[in-house]
């Protein structure tokens, strides 16, 4: 498998996880507007860490396409999210090449912006 193919696959898995967490964030907001508080909905990587036992840094790295998670890790994640592999598969299969390209471009743009901000901060403190 070529490196580009592996990166594509990792980004697709990561984007699927990110979309699920974002969907849960939206669900929490809608419920809040209706006056319903549901603390059981996992709407952040911090909550997913608490529910799954997978470190937040690992979850973030999975979502960024940096980590190739083991099947046991995915099992813990899906159990914490109360999702079946079929449910996850629906999200995964809904992601197309354009979605992955936009996601990758967004990640690269954010990385460059963080680097610019870091350099600007260094210049302010040293000069």
Q: pLDDT category, 80, cuts 50, 70, 90? A: very high
Q: CB–CB of 79/46 below 8 Å? A: no
Residues 16-74 pLDDT 10s? 999 999 999 999 999 889 999 888 899 999 999 999 999 999 999 999 999 999 999 99
What HEC string does 54-97 produce?
CCHHHHHHHHCCCCCCCHHHHHHHHHHCCCCHHHHHHHHHHCCH
Q: Is the pLDDT of residue 119 over 90?
A: no
90 and 100 inside one domain:
no
114 and 86 inside one domain:
no
Q: pLDDT category, 1, cuts 50, 70, 90? A: low
- Domain housing 73: 3-95
100 and 56 inside one domain:
no
C-alpha to C-alpha distance for 98 and 82, rounded to whole angstroms: 28
103 and 59 inside one domain:
no
Nearest Cα neighbor of 43 from 59, 24, 16, 57 is: 24
Nearest Cα neighbor of 47 from 20, 9, 10 is: 20
């Amino acid at each position: 498998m070529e490196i580009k193919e592996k990166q594509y696959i990792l980004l697709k898995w990561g984007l699927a996880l990110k979309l699920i967490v974002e969907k849960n964030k939206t669900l929490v907001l809608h419920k809040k507007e209706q006056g319903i508080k549901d603390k059981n909905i996992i709407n952040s990587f911090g909550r997913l860490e608490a529910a799954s036992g997978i470190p937040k840094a690992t979850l973030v790295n999975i979502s960024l396409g940096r980590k190739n998670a083991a099947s046991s890790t995915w099992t813990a994640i899906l159990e914490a999210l109360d999702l079946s592999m079929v449910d996850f598969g629906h999200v995964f299969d809904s992601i197309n090449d354009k979605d992955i390209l936009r996601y990758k471009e967004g990640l690269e743009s954010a990385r460059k912006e963080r680097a610019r901000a870091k350099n600007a901060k260094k210049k302010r403190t040293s000069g």
